[in-house]
Structures are given as C-alpha cells and as structure tokens.
Amino acid sequence: MTTRRIIIVDDHPLFRAALRQTLAGGDPSISVEEAGDLSALSAALEADRECDLVLLDLNMPGVRGFSGLLLLRAQYPEIPVMIVTAVEDGGIIRRAFELGASGYLHKSVGPADIRRAIETVLSGEVFVPEGMEFPAEDNQSALMRRLATLTPQQVRVLMMLSDGLMNKQIAYELSISEATVKAHVSAILQKLDVDSRTQAVIAASKIEEGQFDELLSGA
C-alpha cells in the first residue's frame, strides 16, 4: 500500500491535532506530520522532499500574507499546497490560486468535507469551495502571476526590500555577495515589470499580512 505524506503547517497545536486526527484516523495509507511554522516545514522537506500535500495556514507568525505560499511554491513547485484558513473571501481565494495554490479550505468545514477536499487535491485536481464565486480578473491578477515566477531567493530578497534593507544588509542576512543581491533585484524588477525598487516594494506590500484590503482594491 502506498503511503501518502501530508504536512499540516499551522501555529495552533490544537487545530493541527484535530486536523491530523480527521485525516489519519483509521486510514493507514495517510501519514500526517505537523509543523508550527515555515522553518519547521522547510526542515521536514529538506530531510525528505517526498510529500504529497502541504496544508498551509495563511496567517502565522513570520508569514506575511501570501509570502509563505509564494516561497513554498517557488522552492518546492512539485508539492501541491492547499490553503487552510479562517479567511472566507472570494478575492483572497482568487489570489491564492493565482499564486499557485491547489486548493482552498475554510477551517469551519466538517470532517467529511475536509476529506473530500484532500482527496480531490491528492488525485491531481484543484479543489475550489462549492458555491464560491471569484471576482473578475483585475490589474492585480497579472501582478500575482508575475510574483509566482520569482525564485525562492528572489522572494526572500523582495521581502527584505519591503523591510527597507539595503543591498549590503540583504547580502549579510542571506550570506551572499552584494553583486548577487543586485542581480536578484534586477531580475525581480524585470519579472514584476517595474522600473524601480520602490515599485517592487509596492508590489510586495500587496501580498503582506494585514494588507488584503489594499490587494483586493488594487491600491
């Protein structure tokens, strides 16, 4: 029997435990692991990249909005990611799919719906909440798709740019040369189709935690 490995990434231990019980209870074909943050997830995946699904909360300490999804999809593009969150907004869900999510699950749904959603994604399909209506594509949709083309290191550099760090500081934090940082910044500007670091930082702000309203309104 083939065992399917699922990793739950959420900072609430009780929710992780309940979801784990729902998924693995009585099913020997499913192996469920838990991670309290992205660092723990990265450690688990570096130890073994064979993973069938990651269940990711959007709002955790150290994760700014969609930055966790961006980084995960860039670093492990072969692993499907389903968002599991308390946010229930069509615009936010659209953004998640534009950034490469394979599914979106609200934390309030029952065990049967959770299992159905998981099986849908494990079978290679995309799970969209029943009855969910997405707003039409807008000028931010193209930006989201461009953000999805960034490499893991480019995502890190972009987030550091948004924190106001200069090239020298970014180089120190990432243990790379300033020349490499400059190359990453140039690639970021090209991929996002912007002309300056300031415009890149504005783009980064649209994926950060607490700025979902601006993201949806296109501000």
% residues pLDDT > 90 (the chain): 40
Q: How far apart are CA 144 and CA 142, in angstroms?
A: 5
pLDDT at residue 82 greater than cutoff 70 = yes
- Mean pLDDT in residue range 57-67: 75
The three-state secondary structure class of 49 is: coil
Residue 29: per-residue pLDDT: 84
Mean predicted lDDT score pLDDT of the chain: 84
CATH classification for the domain delimited by 4-123, as one of 3.40.50.12500, 1.10.10.10, 3.40.50.2300, 3.30.565.60: 3.40.50.2300
Residue 45, CA distances (Å) to 6, 50, 63, 119 in order: 11, 7, 18, 21
Residue 177, CA distances (Å) to 21, 64, 143, 164 in order: 46, 26, 28, 18
- Mean pLDDT in residue range 138-144: 76
Q: Where does the pLDDT of residue 63 fall: very low under 50, low under 70, confident under 90, or very high at 90 and above?
A: low
Q: What is the pLDDT of residues 2-31, one digit of tens each?
A: 789 999 999 999 999 999 988 877 678 889
Q: How far apart are CA 40 and CA 137, in angstroms?
A: 34
Residue 140, CA distances (Å) to 4, 19, 102, 113 in order: 35, 33, 20, 31
% residues pLDDT > 70 (the chain): 89
Residue 52: per-residue pLDDT: 95
More confidently predicted of 35 and 208: 35
Residue 1: per-residue pLDDT: 59
Domain assignments of the chain as residue spans, ordered by start: 4-123, 150-209
Cβ contacts of residue 30 below 8 Å, gap of 6+?
3, 4, 6, 23, 24
Cβ contacts of residue 183 below 8 Å, gap of 6+?
none
Nearest to 29 by CA among 56, 57, 53, 45: 53
Helix 167-174 to helix 178-192 angle (10° resolution) is: 110
The three-state secondary structure class of 178 is: helix
Write down the number of H helices and E strands in the chain. Answer: 11, 5
**The amino acid at 63:** V
pLDDT at residue 198 greater than cutoff 70 = yes
Q: Where does the pLDDT of residue 62 fall: very low under 50, low under 70, confident under 90, or very high at 90 and above?
A: low
Q: How far apart are CA 192 and CA 157, in angstroms?
A: 13
pLDDT at residue 219 greater than cutoff 70 = no
Q: Where does the pLDDT of residue 55 fall: very low under 50, low under 70, confident under 90, or very high at 90 and above?
A: very high
pLDDT at residue 120 greater than cutoff 60 = yes
- Which H, E and C letters describe 118-147, residue by residue? HHHHHCCCCECCCCCCCCCCCHHHHHHHHH
Residue 185: per-residue pLDDT: 94
Q: Which fold has domain 150-209?
A: Arc Repressor Mutant, subunit A (1.10.10)
